[in-house]
Amino acid sequence: MSYENAVEAAEFIKSKYAKSIDTVIVLGSGLGAFADDLENEVRIPYEAIPHFARSTVEGHAGQLVLGEVGGISIAVQQGRFHYYEGYDMEQVTFPMRTFGRMGIKNVILTNAAGSTSTEMTPGSLMLISDHLNCMGVNPLRGKNDERFGARFPDMTHVYDREFQEIVVAEAESIAQERFKNGVDKKLTDFLHRGIYCALSGPTYETPAEVRLYRLLGADAVGMSTVPEAVAARHQGMRVAGISCITNFAAGMTEELINHAEVMETGERVAEIFKELLRRTISRIN
Footprint on this chain of ligand HPA (rule: CB under 6 A): 112-114, 204-205, 221-223, 246-247, 249, 257, 262
> Is 223 a residue of the active site?
yes
Q: Judged by CB, which is closer to ligand HPA: 34, or 204?
A: 204
Residue (31 or 112) nearer to ligand HPA, CB: 112
Is 224 part of the annotated catalytic residue set? yes
CB of 70 to ligand HPA, least distance (A): 29
Closest CB to ligand HPA belongs to which residue?
Answer: 114
Q: Which is nearer to ligand HPA, 53 or 249 (CB)?
A: 249
Told to judge if 259 belongs to the known catalytic residues of this protein, a careful annotator would answer yes
Residue by residue, what is the 3-state secondary structure of the chain? CCHHHHHHHHHHHHHHCCCCCCEEEEECCCCHHHHHHCEEEEEEEHHHCCCCCCCCCCCCCCEEEEEEECCEEEEEEECCCCHHHCCCHHHHHHHHHHHHHCCCCEEEEEEEEEECCCCCCCCCEEEEEEEEEECCCCCCCCCCCCCCCCCCCCCCCCECHHHHHHHHHHHHHHHHHHHCCCCCCCHHHCEEEEEEEEECCCCCCCHHHHHHHHHHCCCEEECCCHHHHHHHHHCCCEEEEEEEEEEECCCCCCCCCCHHHHHHHHHHCHHHHHHHHHHHHHHHC
* Residue 247 designated active-site: yes
Closest distance to ligand HPA from the beta carbon of 227 (Å): 14
282 catalytic, yes or no? no
- Please tell me the distance from the alpha carbon of residue 223 to that of residue 133, in angstroms, as a whole number: 10
Q: Which of 5, 68, 157, 259 is catalytic?
A: 259
Active site residue 157: no
CA angle 206, 242, 18 (to 5 degrees): 130
* Closest distance to ligand HPA from the beta carbon of 224 (Å): 8
Is 124 designated active site? no
Q: In terms of CB distance, is 160 or 205 closer to ligand HPA? A: 205
To the nearest whole angstrom, how small is the minimum distance from the Cβ of residue 50 to ligand HPA?
A: 30
Catalytic residue among 35, 46, 85, 96: 85
Structural contact between residues 62 and 93, judged by C-beta atoms closer than 8 angstroms: no
In the annotation, is 84 catalytic? yes
Q: Which one of the listed residues 10, 102, 112, 126 is annotated catalytic? A: 112
* Shortest Å, Cβ 220 to ligand HPA: 8
Does the annotation mark 60 as catalytic? Answer: yes
Task: Choose between 42 and 61: whose C-beta lies nearer to ligand HPA.
Answer: 61
Residues labelled catalytic: 29, 60, 82, 84-85, 112, 223-224, 247, 259
